Chain A
């Protein structure tokens, strides 16, 4: 019974889970060896998160069993999972950023004497766990003063402090920079050598190629295959996830016209006041902005759209200068923006799709006496639903119940009714499954074909390289280089993004 070599460490058999009638998991099995890094991948909605939540005791399965060392275990609640040594590190960090690192690690389990917290013990022990994840910060550091990457490490240290033997990491790198990601991988390798088992969930396949020992693929809530170390490759994973041929995935034509549609002239943003930024996007052109997290890409888009006021500079749309740099003027001039954080900035989650889509147009399409044009709103919503192929039961269903991909389509759909001439997109496919991704790409192409100038920020190399007619690379608040479609390679972009000089210095181009 206790022969470890014969029985897998963690075994999941026939797991089924339904949510309001929809099966999130159907008869899923999973088998994980002790001390391996096991990746679980799948499109959004494939059931990864549900499976992980069940393993971490957050949710209960409807059918099926979980075995640890061959012994069936019951997981009613997170505490029981922790007792078994299973800890989940959420995509969104769960740290109280007004407390220091040590207090966070021991939050809820503070060592006490007569009801008083024994702080010296907290800080002493916290230091040990911080060392295990390679952090050399003081446990008295305030969490709010740490970067996201370091906070993530603190989260891992916290899990280790409860003697976690199995760490579940849900999209741990989604907000990490390249170097932070590499640091995380070093920590993972180190933990692995200490016998900690890691279940790793990510959309970023190249990461999985780097660190995973085996990959379990889920598709539509069912097992869709398992890959051993030597079978893991980008194509094999994508093919198993999508279940269809991906050769045509990124193919696209160029629709660039001669007319300059967006001209950003000497704009200074609030976060990088020392640099001015100049850029032009032609009608039908797709320009990607690459760069590391924190390079000022989002800030640039926000300044162009006017949600953050630019300190100086001017913006021209179709040759006409915007009279003032605010959101309303930008929208009236034909600029639209799909923001990075769709849940907070893009959508009103508690409202239906129709009202979300209608919101930007309410003012422009209003009737006499400020009355809202509800008929127009309904028509716009229907048109966007069709054009974007949004899957929803009704246009008044609260958008928070939609999947990430469909939510993103609603955000884009919001702007279609405004017939934008310039479309700004910030991480348009973050947290979106491959099917929805393709549809978003297809729509970007359609808009470009109609002459819309598209300027988008993306941290996904493949996306930048394959979707852009031209790539601008940003580094510490300025545009450090420009690459044509043919020159844009991962190496060239990384070179510029990390502060290297452009191989061909950018020369100021004249309008044709």
Chain B
């Protein structure tokens, strides 16, 4: 809970500082809507990453899955003129298969998650480029109905502001994720496995199945993310679509309170963590004093700062607890 408040505080602080420096351009309806849309899109893939990280795993292939889905969807719709439901089912099936194979390789073949998903990162991007021959895939102005899913928005009555659709999708995904993680048996198993897989096994938990589930969720959400990204942008270049997005997803999860050691993390924290990253990017674009080419340096520094602060707060709290106990004595 404290962690969520901490990261929320950071988000508010960055928003406020940007508002002070960039003034009108930050809070304009156009900018806020774009920002919220981007944040929501990254929030979705961060939630996927969080599930894997909570089971003490990692998924480096998120960006390449986004690329695969993002290029294949317009390719199937435009180039092969498949019906929309068929194309959607196909990309969902592809994502599911990817997650399943990651999970199986990690649990049954006992390979390390880092290695399996690193190979995935290379494989899916290469596969995409091969399938579409490095050609940019786009909707060419069509499919406006389907694209509303990502580009549309719901107006907030009696204001100039609107809620972008991806934000609504994020809310649904986040609520489902919160329920899954905190209220269901499987969520409890994930937390238990992340902390101590052996003890979980001795408690009769089918740990393999739970871990596979985490990778499936991650791949499915990556696929959903890839779909929303491409519907939003309108086209995807197989060479760099979704490049580095896995790092944004992982960073969002870590900033949001997930420990890479596993067993820790909240969905709300992760969503806010993902938003912090997007606001930062926006800040760098809007504030003239910050040169845009140091974008990555700023983001890296903020994540590091966040993690260090969290660690210091933890130590301070432990020390204070010890002191208070001593005084009571």
Tell yes or no: A370 within 8 A of B by CB: yes
Interface-facing stretch out of A134-142, A193-201, A345-353, A459-467: A345-353
* CB nearest to A373 among chain B residues: B185
Interface 1/0 per residue, A96-116 and B, CB below 8 Å: 000000000000000000000
Complex Cα distance, B202 from A470, in Å, reads: 27
Contact B192 A345 (CB under 8 A): no
Please give, as numbers and ranges, the residues of chain A lying within 8 Å of B238 by CB-CB distance.
none
Tell yes or no: A20 within 8 A of B by CB: yes
**Chain B nearest CB, measured from A29 CB (Å):** 21
Q: A18-B329, A347-B196, A372-B188 are in contact. Are A307 and B201 (CB under 8 A)?
A: yes
Complex Cα distance, B326 from A347, in Å, reads: 29
**Chain B nearest CB, measured from A360 CB (Å):** 4
Interface-facing stretch out of A117-125, A361-369, A430-438, A503-511: A361-369
Contact B185 A345 (CB under 8 A): no
Interface-facing stretch out of B55-63, B203-211, B268-276: B203-211
Contact B186 A370 (CB under 8 A): yes
Tell yes or no: A210 within 8 A of B by CB: no
Contact A359 B328 (CB under 8 A): no
Tell yes or no: B321 within 8 A of A by CB: yes
Contact B192 A21 (CB under 8 A): no
Tell yes or no: A447 within 8 A of B by CB: no
Interface 1/0 per residue, A20-32 and B, CB below 8 Å: 1111000000000
Contact A355 B188 (CB under 8 A): yes
Contact A346 B185 (CB under 8 A): no
Complex Cα distance, B321 from A349, in Å, reads: 19
Q: A18-B326, A20-B326, A21-B325 are in contact. Are A347 and B185 (CB under 8 A)?
A: no
Please give, as numbers and ranges, the residues of chain A lying within 8 Å of B89 by CB-CB distance.
none
Q: How many residues of B contact A (CB 8 A)?
A: 27
Complex Cα distance, B196 from A20, in Å, reads: 27
Contact A20 B325 (CB under 8 A): yes
* CB nearest to B264 among chain A residues: A350
Decide if the interface of chain A is mainly helix, strand, loop or mixed.
Answer: mixed
**Chain B nearest CB, measured from A287 CB (Å):** 21
**Chain B nearest CB, measured from A355 CB (Å):** 7
* CB nearest to B206 among chain A residues: A328
**Chain A nearest CB, measured from B212 CB (Å):** 15
**Chain A nearest CB, measured from B67 CB (Å):** 33
- Candidates A22, A331, A366, A414; contact of B185 at CB < 8 Å: A366
Please give, as numbers and ranges, the residues of chain A lying within 8 Å of B326 by CB-CB distance.
18, 20-21
Contact A350 B185 (CB under 8 A): no
**Chain A nearest CB, measured from B206 CB (Å):** 6
Contact A327 B195 (CB under 8 A): no
* CB nearest to A366 among chain B residues: B185
Contact A351 B203 (CB under 8 A): no
Tell yes or no: B122 within 8 A of A by CB: no
Contact B329 A344 (CB under 8 A): no
Contact A327 B325 (CB under 8 A): no
Instruction: Give chain A interface residues in 55-87, CB to chain B under 8 Å.
Output: none
Tell yes or no: B183 within 8 A of A by CB: yes
**Chain A nearest CB, measured from B231 CB (Å):** 31
Complex Cα distance, B248 from A296, in Å, reads: 49
Tell yes or no: A339 within 8 A of B by CB: yes
Complex Cα distance, B328 from A330, in Å, reads: 48
Contact B192 A328 (CB under 8 A): no
Contact A346 B325 (CB under 8 A): no
Instruction: Give chain A interface residues in 320-354, CB to chain B under 8 Å.
Output: 327-328, 330-331, 337, 339, 344-351
Tell yes or no: B81 within 8 A of A by CB: no
Please give, as numbers and ranges, the residues of chain B lying within 8 Å of A366 by CB-CB distance.
184-185
Decide if the interface of chain B is mainly helix, strand, loop or mixed.
Answer: helix
**Chain A nearest CB, measured from B129 CB (Å):** 40
Q: A21-B325, A372-B185 are in contact. Are A359 and B205 (CB under 8 A)?
A: yes
Interface contact tally, CB-CB below 8 A: 82
Tell yes or no: B263 within 8 A of A by CB: yes
Tell yes or no: B199 within 8 A of A by CB: yes
Contact B203 A371 (CB under 8 A): no
Contact B196 A363 (CB under 8 A): no
Q: How many residues of A contact B (CB 8 A)?
A: 33
* CB nearest to B195 among chain A residues: A348
Complex Cα distance, B199 from A327, in Å, reads: 12
Contact A21 B263 (CB under 8 A): no
Contact A348 B201 (CB under 8 A): no
Q: A18-B326, A327-B204 are in contact. Are A346 and B199 (CB under 8 A)?
A: yes
Q: A331-B204, A363-B204 are in contact. Are A351 and B192 (CB under 8 A)?
A: yes
Contact B263 A350 (CB under 8 A): yes
Instruction: Give chain B interface residues in 209-237, CB to chain A under 8 Å.
Output: none
Please give, as numbers and ranges, the residues of chain A lying within 8 Å of B192 by CB-CB distance.
348, 351, 355, 359
Contact A345 B198 (CB under 8 A): yes
* CB nearest to A359 among chain B residues: B203
Tell yes or no: B322 within 8 A of A by CB: yes
Complex Cα distance, B200 from A19, in Å, reads: 31
Residue from B199, B263, B328, B329 with most neighbouring chain A CB atoms (10 Å)? B199
Instruction: Give chain B interface residues in 167-200, CB to chain A under 8 Å.
Output: 183-189, 191-192, 195-196, 198-200
Please give, as numbers and ranges, the residues of chain B lying within 8 Å of A351 by CB-CB distance.
191-192, 195
Contact A370 B325 (CB under 8 A): no
Complex Cα distance, B183 from A351, in Å, reads: 16
- Candidates A21, A337, A347, A414; contact of B329 at CB < 8 Å: A21
**Chain A nearest CB, measured from B271 CB (Å):** 22
Contact A328 B185 (CB under 8 A): no
Please give, as numbers and ranges, the residues of chain B lying within 8 Å of A350 by CB-CB distance.
195-196, 263
**Chain A nearest CB, measured from B244 CB (Å):** 32
* CB nearest to B199 among chain A residues: A348
Complex Cα distance, B325 from A493, in Å, reads: 49
Complex Cα distance, B322 from A18, in Å, reads: 10
Please give, as numbers and ranges, the residues of chain A lying within 8 Å of B206 by CB-CB distance.
328
Complex Cα distance, B204 from A328, in Å, reads: 5
**Chain B nearest CB, measured from A269 CB (Å):** 17
Contact A21 B184 (CB under 8 A): no
Complex Cα distance, B199 from A115, in Å, reads: 45
Please give, as numbers and ranges, the residues of chain B lying within 8 Å of A23 by CB-CB distance.
329
Top 9 closest A-B pairs, CB basis?
A20-B325, A21-B325, A331-B204, A21-B329, A359-B203, A360-B203, A370-B184, A348-B196, A348-B195
| Extra inter-chain contacts (9) besides given A363-B205, A371-B185, CB under 8 Å | A21-B328, A22-B329, A344-B196, A350-B196, A360-B203, A366-B185, A369-B184, A371-B184, A372-B184
11 residue pairs A–B, Cβ–Cβ below 8 Å: A21-B328, A21-B329, A337-B202, A344-B198, A347-B196, A348-B195, A359-B205, A362-B188, A363-B204, A366-B185, A372-B187
Task: State the B residues within 8 Å of A (CB).
Answer: 183-189, 191-192, 195-196, 198-206, 263, 321-322, 325-326, 328-329
Task: State the A residues within 8 Å of B (CB).
Answer: 18-23, 305, 307, 327-328, 330-331, 337, 339, 344-351, 355, 359-360, 362-363, 366, 369-372, 414
